[in-house]
Amino acid sequence: MNLYNLQILSVRVLSIIYFTDDVLSECDVVFLAMKPQYLDEAVSSLNSGKNPKTKLFISILVGVTISAITKKLTTALNFVGFDVIRIMPNTPISVGAGCTMLCHDEDALSTHVEIVKCLMSAGGACEVVSESMLNPISAICGAGPAYIYVMVEALSDGAVKMGVPRDLATRVVAQTMLGASQMVIKTGKHPGQLKDEVCSPGGSTIAGIHAMEQSGVRYGIVGKAC
């Protein structure tokens, strides 16, 4: 987050702490949002000697387990009585349509879990998963938007090829993707069933599906992209 955004937030909802010595004494919740290789440096810069009130650390560090973070904090700060909760959001959270994965230890306070769920749900969906599931499912929701963007671009290119203006093509394709996603979520039907409901026997849609299968789209996603 840049300084401008911090200043905007400080006017509305936040107090800004400029010195790491004050973080643990001033903040109820601390986000660990640096790159994993900088975790040790960040932890060593904190000071737990000023009556620390932090009871919850929320980690966005890729691949660093709850136990590893807990050990680093306990060892470096001689600090106990806190929870570490890991989250992995994706970029659509910036428009309120994100998908955040959340995991926590069994002994984490339920109030802390609810705080994080409430916080992240403000930016979209929030799913609680086991820590062993966090990395694989985060890879899907993290990289997934990029795969969808490629599909939106490809379908838009196809529409432009047929004479549709680019801006109209992109809007229509994006809305179609959004609508199809909502159908999966709200109907609870298997995507394959929803696909079959659109495909008439001998029609153009099933012909398009056949072309996609021949082109290896499904294999490319399942076998290579994931």
Binding residues: 33-36
Taking the C-alpha atoms of residue 30 and residue 27, their distance in angstroms, rounded to an integer, is 7
Name residues whose C-beta falls within 8 Å of residue 13's C-beta, 6 or more positions apart in sequence: none
The binding site for NADP(+) consists of 33-36
Dihedral sign for Cα atoms in the order 95, 99, 105, 107: positive
* Cβ pair 54, 28 in contact under 8 A: yes
Taking the C-alpha atoms of residue 67 and residue 6, their distance in angstroms, rounded to an integer, is 30
Q: Where are the beta strands (DSSP E) in 115-172?
A: 124-128
What six digits make up the tokens of 111?
């109030």
* Cβ pair 102, 87 in contact under 8 A: yes
